[in-house]
Amino acid sequence: MSRARELLSDPLTNKGTAFTEEERDRFRLHGLLPPHVGTLESQMERRWRALGALPDNFQRYSFLRDLQDSNEILFHALVANNIEALLPIVYTPTVGEGCQRFSEIWRRPRGLFLSYPNRHRIKEMLADPAYDRVRAIVVSDGERILGLGDQGAGGMGIPIGKLALYTACGGFHPGELLPILLDVGTDNARLRNDPLYIGWRHERVRGPDYDAFVDAFVAAVAERWPGALLQWEDFAGANAARLLDRHRDQLLSFNDDIQGTAAVAVGTLLSAMRRTGRPLSAQRILLFGAGAAGTGIGSLLIAAMRAEGLDEAAARATIWAIDRDGLIREGANQVSEAARRFARPAGEADDLAGADLATIVARVAPTVMIGVSGQSGAFTEDAVRAMAAAVDRPIIFPLSNPASHAEARPDMLSAWTEGRAIIGTGSPFPPVKAALTPVTQVNNVYIFPGVALGALAAGARGVSDAMFMASARALAEAADGASALLPPVTALRDVALTVATAVAEQAVADGLATVATDDWRTRIAAMMWTPEYAAAE
């Protein structure tokens, strides 16, 4: 292939009409491009007009994926300069449909599909020199995509979307990022029988064979990129915490569904405390959903309350957790080890066995209710009205994604609480005019780019729980003075810098940093890349 066609076919070097006359002469691009010499700004305007002409967000998502695969600098510039409008398209909620229809719109390779039949080739597939610059990886096995279940190879949409936000919000150069899908099959029969499905048509590999495959992957990553960061994403609850615990000491890694969700939820709650005038340790918290996300939130809440002076038992006593079998009570529920931490003592709540949410709310009188169940409409009118009857400013966070799986819509919550509720949602919703406090999207994007950036800046040997607590506190402080609970999404790049600084400082305090500096904020800011064309070489 000629150098001209190499430049135009590589999304990291293609500049389209923005190649200069000198570059067109040097690389013989004349004729391959129209004669107009454009700029990044004029190209963004052209793409913005094209986006606006499309009929729906899925078509816009598909358009942006094509743009990313043809001209990555232009894609990232467009997203970074229109983050408020494009965040819901590049990621939640539209990315959910993007995963469901991934095989339908797949056109060009991006990232790596490591399939189980090719398990003996993992090192070979990672060895491509194109990946020499990689510093951060997001990996999924596609089993638990948002609240949509098993999407198999279509789950690749999540690592691609997350890493787009690493760049837009965290300032990572796209050449440093690698999305990976561990294709171990799918239990979604519809996908296996779909002639368009691009993944391995096999039921999911489980048990020791699955663990051996993941072990081989982790070992190969640690060997290929020592010091790189691995983010685990959208693994099913049965594997998410287990894989994190199994591998967190082998390489720099974290699970965003567990730790990132916990940090953004706790950070937003700390911000909400300014509205209520009462500390976190004085709250009564009802966790609706005790999977990986729910137990991660609960554990970080306990850590935050202990920092406020409560002991372990007192902190646990503030949290009431509900799983699929109802209120978690000692010896009464079949739940994970992590969920058992939140079981109510034997005899304390026997009268609530089998009780519905409204009955439990009436008895417990929670001041905070957090939903991570994936059950649409689970926060019923009776339950919310019972909460509002006992609490002046109820804090209600239906965090499940996508919007169709949210435990309640914010307009309903506001109506049932006469506008008094302090509301945070996982997905974006239209503004609620009657709400006393603007509805806040409690999105992990406020956390994970900064955690990754701070950990890498510090050369951290691991990502500690204390680093996520530091990120939560930094997020709450960044929101101080804002009308909403969190800063606007237009400030996400500044938020990432603030979070990264706190994470790097905590890495030093934890003895995990291998880099030293007297000014972390300046060091990290200098690492953050801005999308702009470089001279062709």
Residue 62's CATH number: 1.20.1370.30
Above pLDDT 70, what percent of the chain? 99
Of 65, 158, 110, 119, the C-alpha closest to 401 is 158
Catalytic residue among 15, 61, 131, 162: 162
pLDDT at site 203: 98
Domain carrying residue 512: 446-527
Which of 91, 131, 197, 446 is catalytic? The answer is 91
pLDDT the model gives residue 275: 86
**Can you tell me the distance from the alpha carbon of 6 to that of 9, in angstroms, rounded to the nearest whole number?**
5
Q: What integer pLDDT is reported at residue 288 of this predicted model?
A: 97
Among 384, 410, 442, which residue terminates a domain? 442
For residues 141-163, give the mean pLDDT: 96
Q: Does any domain span residue 94?
A: no
Please indicate, yes or no, whether residues 427 and 502 belong to a single structural domain of this protein.
no
Higher pLDDT, 350 or 212: 212
> Same structural domain for residues 276 and 422?
yes
444 labelled binding-site residue: no
Q: Six-digit token pair at 156?
A: 């690749």
- 93 domain residue, yes or no: no
pLDDT recorded at residue 344: 92
- Domain check: are 64 and 115 in the same one? no
pLDDT at 237: 81
Q: Is 162 a catalytic residue?
A: yes
d(CA 492, CA 438): 18
Predicted confidence band of residue 1 (pLDDT cuts 50, 70, 90): low
In a domain, residue 478? The reply is yes
What are 407-444's pLDDT values in tens digits? Answer: 999 999 999 999 999 999 998 899 998 788 899 999 99
315 pLDDT above the threshold of 90: yes
Q: Is residue 333's pLDDT more than 80? A: no
User: Was 233 annotated as part of a binding site?
Assistant: yes
In angstroms, rounded to a whole number, what is the distance separating the alpha carbons of residues 180 and 113? 6
Q: In terms of DSSP bridges, do strands 285-288 and 395-398 run parallel, antiparallel, or are they unpaired?
A: unpaired
Residue at a domain's end among 250, 280, 301: 250
Q: What average pLDDT does this structure show over 78-95?
A: 95
171-195: per-residue pLDDT in tens?
999 999 999 999 999 999 999 999 9
Strands lying side by side in the sheet with 136-140: 112-115, 177-183, 136-140, 229-232, 252-255
Which of 220, 250, 280 is the endpoint of a domain?
Answer: 250
CATH number, domain containing residue 235: 3.40.50.10380
pLDDT at 238: 81
Q: Is 321 helix (H, G, I), strand (E, B) or coil?
A: strand
| Domain identity same for 44 and 134 | no
Task: Work out the pLDDT band at 325, boundaries 50, 70, 90.
Answer: confident
Higher pLDDT, 333 or 204: 204
With a cut of 80, say whether residue 482 has pLDDT above it: no
Considering the domain boundaries, does residue 95 fall inside one?
no
For 181, list phi and psi in degrees, rounded to 5: -115, 120
pLDDT given for residue 316 in this prediction: 94
Assess whether pLDDT exceeds 80 at residue 334: no
Whether a cis peptide bond, with omega within 30° of 0, leads into 402 is yes
- Whether residue 265 sits in one domain with residue 230: no
Mean pLDDT of the chain: 95
How far is it, in rounded angstroms, from Cα 180 to Cα 178? Answer: 6
* Whether 38 and 140 share a structural domain: no
Could you give the number of structural domains in the chain? 4
pLDDT at 506 over 90: yes
Q: Does 401 count as an annotated binding residue?
A: yes
Whether residue 436 is found in the same domain as residue 450: no
Q: Is 234 annotated as a binding residue?
A: yes
* Average of per-residue pLDDT across 5-32: 96
* Model pLDDT, residue 207: 96
| Letter string b/e over residues 171-197, b meaning 16 or more CB atoms within 10 A of that residue's CB | bbbbebbbbbbbbbbbebeebbeeeeb
How many alpha carbons lie under 13 Å from residue 344 in its C-beta half-sphere? 23
Has 239 been labeled as part of a binding site? no
Query: Do 300 and 192 reside in the same domain of the chain?
Result: no
The answer to whether residues 79 and 199 belong to one domain is no
For residue 237, give the nearest of 142, 144, 147, 155 by alpha carbon.
144
Question: Is residue 96 domain-resident?
Answer: no
Q: For residues 230 and 344, state if they share a domain.
A: no
Record the pTM: 0.95
**Residue 82 in marked binding region:** no
Q: Is residue 116 part of a domain?
A: yes
pLDDT at 43 over 80: yes
Q: Would residue 534 count as lying in a domain? A: no
Whether residue 331 lies inside any domain: the answer is yes
pLDDT, tens digit, 9 for 90 and up, residues 369-418: 999 999 999 999 999 999 999 999 999 999 998 889 999 999 999 999 99
Q: What pLDDT, on a 0 to 100 scale, did the predictor assign at position 209?
A: 98
Q: Are residues 290 and 401 in the same domain?
A: yes
Q: Is the predicted pLDDT of residue 71 greater than 90, yes or no?
A: yes
pLDDT band for 139, please (50, 70, 90 cuts): very high
| Same domain membership, residue 227 and residue 136 | yes
